[in-house]
Amino acid sequence: MKKLLVSIGLILFFTLESNSHVDHYKKYNYLEYELFRNNQLIGYHKYSFLRNNGNLKIENEVSFKITKLGIDLYHYYATGEEYYKNGVFSGFNSKTNQNKKEKYVKIKIDPNDKNLIIDGSSYKGKADKDIIIGTWWNHEIVQKKAQISAVSGRIIEQKVEFIGKEDIKIGDKIYKTLRFNFSSSDPSLSKDKKLNTDIWYEENTFLWVKAAFDKTGYWEYRLKDAK
């Protein structure tokens, strides 16, 4: 029964027209999320969608800090650019300052086999073109067997489970969503590297509404603005 429900959920999730997944977001120019830890607002994550003659550049910025008694204990800041041409992924780069530790990713396409060439602080090498960058806004990630860390370039093999339909209230608005759990396929990974994240996408628009995970506290991304 559980497998049947998963199959039904995935079918429902992908019953729009068969054009590029990126095209599902053509009405959006800007997305902003608030980041909470233990229900305390600590930062933001913003996306800007810039379009020009079939080319799409998505700029993203993430910033948060953890403080205690007025003292900053941890600070994180990252920027990135994601590129698509006619709906097809064509490159990515990011820079991250993770509590004064610098990390980066650069991804380009091999012109011969169209696979990915990754130059990252945690991984350098080639990867299958079917792997997706883990920036969460693109619902296509639920179909993939692996994602690439947008911070370090590490390849994260994943299992995706459809949990079910849920009504999510954020502020004064209720979203009808589909909830998915992403977990690491490799059981040998250390706890700090294991993926275990719940993602909620709006049922009719595929808009990323919320994310939640438990790692040294309970973290949530909540949609603040979409326009």
Closest CA to 208 of 74, 84, 47: 47
According to the model, what pLDDT value does residue 193 have?
A: 83
According to the model, what pLDDT value does residue 188 have?
A: 84
DSSP 172: T
According to the model, what pLDDT value does residue 93 have?
A: 98
Mean pLDDT of all residues belonging to the chain: 91
Q: How confident is the model at residue 10 (pLDDT cuts 50, 70, 90)?
A: low
Sequence ranges of the domains in the chain = 2-226
The pLDDT of 176-182, averaged and rounded, is: 98
Res 125 pLDDT > 50: yes
**pLDDT higher for 63 or 21?**
63
Structure confidence by residue, pLDDT tens digits, 200-210: 999 999 999 99
3-state secondary structure of 6: helix
**pLDDT higher for 1 or 132?**
132
Closest CA to 201 of 113, 128, 142, 135: 142
Name the residue type at position 219: W
Structure confidence by residue, pLDDT tens digits, 128-140: 999 999 999 999 9
Q: How confident is the model at residue 20 (pLDDT cuts 50, 70, 90)?
A: low
Q: List CB contacts of 203: < 8 A, sequence separation 6 or more.
A: 12, 13, 165, 176, 177, 178
Residues of the chain above pLDDT 70, percent: 91
pTM of the entire structure?
0.90
Measured CA to CA, the distance from residue 115 to residue 111 in angstroms comes to 8
Place of tokens 């980041």: 35
Structure confidence by residue, pLDDT tens digits, 140-173: 999 999 999 999 999 999 999 999 999 999 999 9
Cβ atoms of residues 110 and 100 within 8 Å:
no
How far is the CA of 210 from the CAs of 24, 186, 224, in angstroms?
Answer: 18, 25, 10
Cβ atoms of residues 138 and 130 within 8 Å:
no
